[in-house]
A = this chain, B = another copy of it.
Amino acid sequence: MAPTTRPIRSSHGDPVKIGDVATPALVVDAALLEANLAAMSHALPGSRLRPHVKAHKCTSLAARQLAHGHHAFTCATVTEMEGMARAGLGDDLLLANEIVDARRLGALVRAGSRVTLAVDSPETVAAALAGGVEEVVIDVNVGLPRCGCHPADAGRLAETARRGGLAVRGVMGYEGHIVGLPERAKRVEMVRPAMEALLAAHADVGGELVSAGGTGTYDINTWATEIQAGSYALMDTAYSELGLPFGQALSLESTVISVSSGWAVADCGLKALSMDHGNPTIEGAEVWFCSDEHVTFAPHRPVKVGERIRVSPAHVDPTVACHERMFVVEGEQILDTWSVDLRGW
């Protein structure tokens, strides 16, 4: 599917300028987003990519990923699974996470969605069965101390699942300890042993899926049958340091509300940003710190009260989750307003 130059049509009446909306407001640059989606679908067409919706929590954006040829999606929460199904994007949904109560997923299966659930223990296999889930993947630990069984236990767990009546579609293993490493050579070096462990588990498990990877390893991880990247669509300042061919499509429209001698303050703070990756950045300014509703910064040129500025978040996933909507823009013009409709649990 060829990328289009202006793919997003307004669902509203007259165009509105981004300078007219209340701040802080999440802004998506339409052209940069489309370029990111096109670059990724060129590298990993169709089912080679299973976009992770946790990075944007937005079914309108997921629909754009579908338009670029990807019909299978990755989710991190049951609410994301439900929202994707509700939006008609339930062809092939993977919950790449463990849960101990799968009844809400069973309801999605009965309503016609294809649901696959990650399991890494006898308890999570039992939960899948009790909840009415029919398909699973075995989640394998490939080096990040988080979920996933030991590679040597994967075959036995698959057997347990199949004995219970579940279809086992394969394995997943997220190399989350590697995707964010700044040096590409280091990422290349470390992905191999992680994926060798996953493939060894896959030999014991069977099935067609080897699901792994993220934005930082999308072109390095050639062992997985599908890559679970999500951040590539919007990007953030942390991922931007990796030299990937994706641009920062997301920023926060913010208003300068106070100017003092030596610093200024804009209305974009902790509650509009995520701070786990540190301070946001502002072009032409040094960010000092964030408070609940403020960012204090030292501008390199004079700024005025009432002036609009753009703030770039350090970590896109939790930043998006702070907002109800995102404004899709071309320059100053709002092309569309997308609900961040996959929030909560």
Residues of A within 8 A of B (CB): 22-25, 54, 76-78, 97-101, 120-121, 123-124, 127, 141, 145-148, 150, 176, 255, 257-263, 265, 267, 270-272, 274-276, 288, 290-294, 296, 304-306, 315, 317-318, 321-324, 344-345
List, sorted by A's number, 12 A–B pairs whose CB atoms are closer than 8 Å.
A76-B292, A97-B257, A97-B267, A99-B267, A100-B257, A100-B305, A124-B258, A145-B262, A270-B315, A270-B317, A275-B276, A322-B322
Chain B residue numbers with a CB within 8 Å of A124 are 257-258, 305
Q: Measured between C-beta atoms, what is the minimum distance from A143 to chain B in Å?
A: 12
Chain B residue numbers with a CB within 8 Å of A127 are 306
> Residue A121 contacts which of B101, B148, B258, B270 (CB distance < 8 angstroms)?
B258
Interface centre among A76, A259, A263, A315 (most CB of B within 10 A): A76
Q: Once bound together, how far apart are the Cα atoms of A145 and B25, in whole Å? A: 24
> Residue A292 contacts which of B272, B293, B318 (CB distance < 8 angstroms)?
B318
Q: Once bound together, how far apart are the Cα atoms of A345 and B322, in whole Å? A: 11
Number of copies: 2
Tell me if A's interface is mostly helix, strand, loop or mixed. Answer: loop
> Residue A317 contacts which of B76, B292, B315 (CB distance < 8 angstroms)?
B292
> Residue A258 contacts which of B76, B148, B292 (CB distance < 8 angstroms)?
B148
Interface centre among A23, A124, A147, A324 (most CB of B within 10 A): A147
Q: Measured between C-beta atoms, what is the minimum distance from A313 to chain B in Å?
A: 13
In the complex where A124-B305, A274-B270, A324-B344 touch, is A257 in contact with B98 (Cβ < 8 A)?
yes
Q: Once bound together, how far apart are the Cα atoms of A306 and B100, in whole Å? A: 6
Q: Once bound together, how far apart are the Cα atoms of A326 and B126, in whole Å? A: 30
Q: Once bound together, how far apart are the Cα atoms of A69 and B270, in whole Å? A: 30
